Structure 1
Amino acid sequence: MTLTTTPEWRELATLAEAQRHIHLRERFAADPQRFSRHAIRHGGFLLDYSKQRLDDAVVAALHALWHAAAVPAWIARMRAGEAINHTEGRAVRHVDLRAAQPPAEVAAVLGRMQAFCARIHDGSWRGASGKPIREVVNIGIGGSDLGPRMATRALAAHAHPGLRVRFVSNIDGADLATVLADCDPAQTLFIVVSKTFTTQETLHNARSARAWLTAALGENAVSRHFVAVSTNLEATAAFGIAAENVFEFWDWVGGRFSLWSAVGLALALAIGMDNFRALLAGGAAMDTHFFDAPVHTNLPATLALLEVWNTNFLGAHSRALLPYSQSLAELPRYIQQLEMESNGKQVDRAGKRVDHATAPIVWGEAGTNGQHAFYQLLHQGGRLVPCEFIAVLRPDFDPGGHHDALLANCLAQSEALMRGRTADEAPASTSAALAPYQVFDGNQPSTTLLLPRLDPHTLGQLIALYEHKVFALGVLWNLNAFDQWGVEYGKVLARRLLPMLSGEAPASGLDSSTAGLLAACLAARR
């Protein structure tokens, strides 16, 4: 029996059909206590999902589905270290990276990171010319870039003085060139992050950075200006990085769940190791909540079940992630990878095609910028787009009155999406001809997550919240959330095309479109 044939799934389908035409403003009018019954508070977080298109019966049915899918048993399997990433034969143990008492190998790497950060911060680590490090450039891609990049920007208020941390990921030479343009080779440290030390984009950028450095300081400078996060000691040694300057992580750490490991070295340098450990502690606190809280008060469980409701029963194809915090401007990109690479799949754990929708498209932008870009479609575009608002109650940066205006916009947008506006509610000065343009259907579902502040501990909670949501959704949709074979296939094709583009191999075996595009690229070179 698949989950879609269970009584719990059928009950949700029946409820969705019966409630399809109930407007959210009707729900609020009929239930003055709606907010108090559809909000969860934990660890300083407030999750308000009262603006979702649901009622108590739907919530109860979603909770029943959680147990029908045996999510608690899967949680226990993950905690026990079983190889639940079955297609790669690996355990999923990223929670061990942030445990209060981590495994010995994790503790050892954290200790090495602490010692290294201290040497950079106190100036005892010197470049080849004897100068202290003032620039750190992280070279990675995907999980080796998005997490540290997002968190470094989010925690800019906690940045170590006198040290600038930058990120390069794209194989497009403009990414690296624009970063190096205002770096001093004598005071720049590169962190090359690649588990296998074979990632095409990362190694191409690393070699170009190496050439830039050695042109200025000579070959002997490499060991003082490059460190690596990798498991391939042979390849890092061939590059010129000493073994003591290679920080390991393990095959039970998936790339998009690796921020907590040595992959976060650039972040640790940016904010200091004490703050990095506070981030880990925040993640561990959310782990405890997810593992122990019952489903009706469980934050990750609630977000996962809302996704199932909107995707599988209301027919939503995308979700807008809208952080009303410029510090969290990189969060939508990070969550895109976390969710879409994890659950953007149509083959279940038994190798069969699923008979239901899976991960929606995740997109978004920091408010209020997004309001002047795409909110018009949210309000009047006629598409169902569930929205997820995130706001911080106490800001790190507020030159004067900015934060009140920011929060006012956040709350107003979720209210407007919920309520809409009828023709009778249009401004009195509106002419009959313009009245139709002033109408907003409303009934757009949203959640709002309020954070007490944006510090390392809270950010750790937030990241772990989404990680556990992704895992729970993988179980609910019967997917392996921890592999990414679709990504690998594109890399295989790119490796085949590269020698054709460079002229080292003839173009052959291509479809007419790829062959035509390749010919145009080669013609432009000539």
Structure 2
Amino acid sequence: MTSTSSAWGRLQAAQRLPLSALFAAHPDRLSRFTLDECGMHFDWSKTHVTPELIADFVALAEETGLAAAREALFSGKTINQSEGRAAEHTAERGEGAPDSVAQARFFHARMRAIIDAIEAEALGPVRHILHVGIGGSALGPALLVDALGRDAGRYDVAVVSNVDGVALEDAFRKFDPSATLLVVASKTFTTRETLLNAASALEWLADGGVEDPYGQVIALTADPDRAVEWGVDETRVLPFSETVGGRFSLWSSIGFPAALALGWTQFEELLEGAAEMDRHFRLAPLDHNAPVLAAFVDQYYARLQGATTRAVFAYDERLKLLPDYLQQLEMESNGKSVRIDGKPVEGPSAPITWGGVGTDAQHAVFQLLHQGTHFVPVEFLASIEPGHGLDEAHHRHLLTNCFAQGAALMTGRANDDPARAYPGDRPSSTILLDQLDARTLGALIAFYEHRTFTNAVLLGINPFDQFGVELGKEIARSIEGADIQHFDPSTRSLIERAFG
């Protein structure tokens, strides 16, 4: 997106009208700004976008080459330019270059064969799964298991990503070493935090009387040779393609703990739901395309209205990890200041993604959203069908609170006492699921992936690299060396105080 774009010029010149005025002026606003797709109802009517704005954003998408970039994504072309590779997470769910789809199916078949063997107790009486990874190697599986596995009753699963030993000890206290399968997830199999956690877990297995700890290890990696060198038997290494990025990898072998905990049928449903959203994103017109419209709204608020954050609130306990997952997906992908062409990004890029779970968040952060000085677009998620069998009053109360918050943000309320006045005209969007099952969750996650990709294309950046996370790691390695004199006085003082 550049200042010389004609569409961008029109977007900058557009006036923001109050939400109440937009509804009053356009009786058909609801039908224009809602969309039903993949078992979900998307409602952007309580945002400030107009048909004219959408038309200008469509023109901007055409100017920035969204259609060509989308086709490059699905055809397996080198779209991750800085690392010289494709980005083929969609091939994992059957939508991509034929050879890549075939390879993904082969790797999935290998994963299912190991799952079948575990279920037949070929690796002993497994009851617990200890999954160690970090970033996308942990956030994706954790989200899937927490959202869909609460009633599965198949295996106990602990996903550990933090190198803080407290996290591992929490899992150790709950699990029996003789019945624990250790799953080590690392794309390169060089991630220091993951390998340190894995080494400590192996020691725990040995201390717990397991004669062959490596015999209870499954490795998930794009570099099988390194996993074998580390000590994992090659028959227990589940590969995936190096063209699948970490934060897009839950569809690959990285999803193994979820497939094992939920059952293969559920994992297949997850893949098919994502593939359904893939087809929608690839084929639907831009002005009736859910990920694209959501990205238009994102761009409107972040770049035209100065919103530095975006809040996501799931009114469903099963989606409590979704904001954490989206933080990495959106902020690691689009938190860039340099365009693909090497020029600086003009204006803000990705907003800061944050959020929580309703109704808890209403009594914590909604004070700022309703009466604070920050301008924060809010996104609500809920499911029509409850995830429990208790009195229906629970779910009715949950949904009424969700819908009430969006209405209150928009309409506000006047009061002679300023402390009790609500300004209103604060935007929100809603994603209402018919039900939260594997298929719909797959479609929802794919929706966010494609939304993130569309934002990147509009910004002119590469969403598939993440060099920004490397500098801190490099400095951490140097701190462990003997010479700390090159550090600033503050850092030297902290090192000396902590380590003596």
Question: What TM-score comes out, normalization by structure 2 length?
Answer: 0.96
* Within-5 A mapping of 1:322-337: 322-337=313-328
Does 2:306 correspond to 1:315? yes
Q: 1:81 to 1:341 in 2, by over 3 A?
A: same
1:68-122 CA distance string (max 9 Å, x none):
2110011111222111101100111111000078633211211121122122234
Code of the residue aligned with 1:513 in structure 2: it is: S
Compute the displacement of 1:307 (Å): 0.5
1:210-229 CA distance string (max 9 Å, x none):
111112225x4223211101
Matches of 2:370 and 2:477, distance apart in 1: 44
Counterpart residue number, 1:279: 270
Counterpart residue number, 2:494: 517
TM-align CA RMSD? 1.5
Aligned with 1:287: secondary structure? Answer: helix
Matches of 1:232 and 1:75, distance apart in 2: 28
Matches of 2:208 and 2:357, distance apart in 1: 40
Compute the displacement of 1:234 (Å): 4.0
- Which of 97, 115, 118 does residue 117 from structure 1 map onto? 115
Counterpart residue number, 2:234: 243
Compute the displacement of 1:36 (Å): 1.6
Matches of 1:122 and 1:407, distance apart in 2: 42
Matches of 1:4 and 1:168, distance apart in 2: 45
- Which of 473, 484, 489 does residue 507 from structure 1 map onto? 484
Counterpart residue number, 1:342: 333
Compute the displacement of 1:485 (Å): 0.5
Contact 2:123 2:216 in 1 (8 A): no
- Which of 412, 437, 461 does residue 479 from structure 1 map onto? 461
Does 2:489 correspond to 1:489? no
- Which of 140, 147, 150 does residue 154 from structure 1 map onto? 147
1:208-254 CA distance string (max 9 Å, x none):
00111112225x42232111012334432343310000000121000
Counterpart residue number, 2:174: 182
Code of the residue aligned with 2:396 in structure 1: it is: D
Code of the residue aligned with 2:332 in structure 1: it is: E
- Which of 35, 38, 48 does residue 43 from structure 1 map onto? 38
Does 2:411 correspond to 1:412? no
Counterpart residue number, 1:378: 369
Does 2:55 correspond to 1:57? no
| Larger radius of gyration between Structure 1 and Structure 2 | 1
Matches of 1:158 and 1:281, distance apart in 2: 21
Aligned residue pair count: 496
- Which of 465, 486, 493 does residue 447 from structure 2 map onto? 465
Counterpart residue number, 2:9: 10
Q: Could you list the runs of 5+ residues in structure 2 that have no partner in the other structure?
A: none
Code of the residue aligned with 1:107 in structure 2: it is: R
- Which of 133, 157, 162 does residue 126 from structure 2 map onto? 133
Matches of 2:318 and 2:309, distance apart in 1: 24
Contact 1:142 1:256 in 2 (8 A): yes
Matches of 2:414 and 2:450, distance apart in 1: 40
- Which of 432, 439, 453 does residue 435 from structure 2 map onto? 453
Contact 1:135 1:164 in 2 (8 A): yes
Q: 1:216 to 1:157 in 2, by over 3 A?
A: closer
Compute the displacement of 1:44 (Å): 2.2
Does 2:421 correspond to 1:444? no
Matches of 1:474 and 1:34, distance apart in 2: 28
1:245-289 CA distance string (max 9 Å, x none):
000012100000000000000110110111101100111110000
Q: Could you list the runs of 5+ residues in structure 1 that have no partner in the other structure?
A: 127-131, 424-431, 500-504
* Within-5 A mapping of 1:192-211: 192-211=184-203
Counterpart residue number, 1:32: 27
Code of the residue aligned with 1:125 in structure 2: it is: L
Contact 1:222 1:241 in 2 (8 A): no
Aligned with 2:247: secondary structure? Answer: helix
Counterpart residue number, 1:428: none
Question: What TM-score comes out, normalization by structure 1 length?
Answer: 0.92
Which stretch of structure 1 is more off in the superposition, 33-42 or 191-200?
33-42
Contact 2:202 2:214 in 1 (8 A): no
* Within-5 A mapping of 1:352-367: 352-367=343-358
Contact 2:38 2:273 in 1 (8 A): no
Contact 1:230 1:248 in 2 (8 A): yes
Q: 1:157 to 1:520 in 2, by over 3 A?
A: closer
Compute the displacement of 1:157 (Å): 4.7
Matches of 2:192 and 2:156, distance apart in 1: 26
Compute the displacement of 1:439 (Å): 0.3
Does 2:259 correspond to 1:264? no
Matches of 1:421 and 1:283, distance apart in 2: 41
Compute the displacement of 1:158 (Å): 5.5
Quote the sequence identity (%): 40
Compute the displacement of 1:32 (Å): 2.9
Matches of 1:157 and 1:452, distance apart in 2: 19
1:400-452 CA distance string (max 9 Å, x none):
121111100000000000111112xxxxxxxx6xx221100111111101111
Contact 1:222 1:240 in 2 (8 A): no
Matches of 1:464 and 1:237, distance apart in 2: 32
Counterpart residue number, 2:66: 71
Q: 1:222 to 1:232 in 2, by over 3 A?
A: farther
- Which of 74, 79, 82 does residue 84 from structure 1 map onto? 79
Matches of 1:263 and 1:162, distance apart in 2: 19
Code of the residue aligned with 1:173 in structure 2: it is: G
Contact 1:156 1:327 in 2 (8 A): no
Code of the residue aligned with 2:148 in structure 1: it is: L
Matches of 1:56 and 1:89, distance apart in 2: 38
Aligned with 1:181: secondary structure? Answer: helix
